[in-house]
């Protein structure tokens, strides 16, 4: 009787496997879904040098009093973090991971201030910290692109290449690497980068753009144009050249 009154906890939705490939002794796994629902030893949360942003994709789901105290302690002890600072905390509210690795990134400024170099060095720091903690799996999500503005194509290439080189030349406790995103276009970019690195045929990236997405761009960017301009500026075939890292398409009403 009492059991029927208890609030039922819904099981988290299972992530969708997109591709899984072995590189030497490491499995590289790309999933569509929520990184916080996957059983991974440690996941990487990209942070700013002031630890001001508590609304990252991971922290929005993980933050509790214990984790907040740990982050506040880092703020008080270090003050302003330097680029490529890397530290580890408890998982907060997350039940499927043991630790969260936090690593600082710069905001994207057009690539003129060594942002990609800092990103690559940050990945190396995260890998080393995970190994020091004897972690067997590590996971990454989309905040490096979504929040810090690093172009998606560059994010995917640097992450995939980093682990490919690591798997090829070094022995490590890490046996599984996860790249988990909710966005289909981001998933396709990561998948193609992985296929390219291991020498397999790359899929046509145009396929990630559905007719509904084309219609969305058509209706939004052609709004307010007269019918003739709408036809010339908003032709559906214009969208065939969209790349997965473009978030907008310039359609001008003259």
Contacts of 83 (CB under 8 A, 6+ apart): 49, 104, 105, 106, 118, 122
This prediction has a pTM of 0.76
Task: Report the CATH fold assignment for 16-205.
Answer: 3.40.220
SS3 197: helix
CA distances for 50 relative to 76, 83, 89, angstroms? 11, 11, 16
Beta bridge partners of 16: 32
Strand order in the sheet with 137-140: 16-23, 26-32, 176-181, 137-140, 40-47, 97-104, 86-89
Q: Report the C-alpha gap between 221 and 218 in whole angstroms.
A: 6
Q: What pLDDT is recorded for position 224? A: 52
What does the pLDDT look like over 41-72, one tens digit per residue? 999 999 999 988 888 999 999 999 999 999 99
Residue spans of the domains in the chain: they are 16-205, 209-241
What secondary structure, in 3-state letters, does 49-64 show? Answer: CCCCCCCCCCHHHHCC
Question: Would the pLDDT of 207 be above 60?
Answer: no
């Amino acid at each position: 009787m009492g059991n029927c009154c208890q609030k039922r906890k819904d099981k988290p939705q299972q992530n969708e496997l997109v591709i899984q490939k072995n590189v030497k002794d490491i499995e590289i796994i790309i999933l569509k879904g929520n990184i916080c629902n996957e059983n991974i030893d440690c996941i990487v949360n990209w942070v700013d040098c002031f630890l001001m942003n508590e609304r990252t994709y991971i922290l929005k789901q993980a933050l509790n009093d214990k984790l907040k105290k740990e982050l506040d302690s880092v703020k008080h002890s270090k003050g302003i973090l330097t680029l490529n600072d890397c530290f580890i905390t408890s998982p907060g509210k997350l039940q499927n991971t043991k630790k969260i690795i936090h690593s600082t990134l710069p905001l994207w400024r057009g690539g003129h201030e060594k942002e990609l170099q800092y990103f690559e060095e940050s990945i190396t720091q995260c890998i080393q910290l995970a190994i020091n903690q004897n972690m067997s799996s590590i996971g990454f999500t989309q905040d490096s692109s979504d929040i810090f503005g690093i172009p998606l194509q560059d994010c995917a290439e640097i992450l995939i290449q980093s682990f490919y080189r690591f798997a090829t030349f070094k022995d490590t406790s890490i046996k599984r690497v996860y790249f988990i995103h909710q966005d289909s276009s981001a998933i396709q970019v990561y998948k193609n980068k992985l296929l390219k690195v291991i020498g397999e045929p790359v899929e046509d990236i145009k396929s990630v753009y559905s007719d509904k997405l084309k219609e969305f761009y058509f209706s939004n960017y052609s709004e307010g144009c007269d019918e003739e301009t709408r036809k010339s500026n908003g032709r559906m075939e214009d969208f065939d050249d969209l790349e997965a890292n473009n978030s907008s398409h310039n359609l001008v009403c003259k």
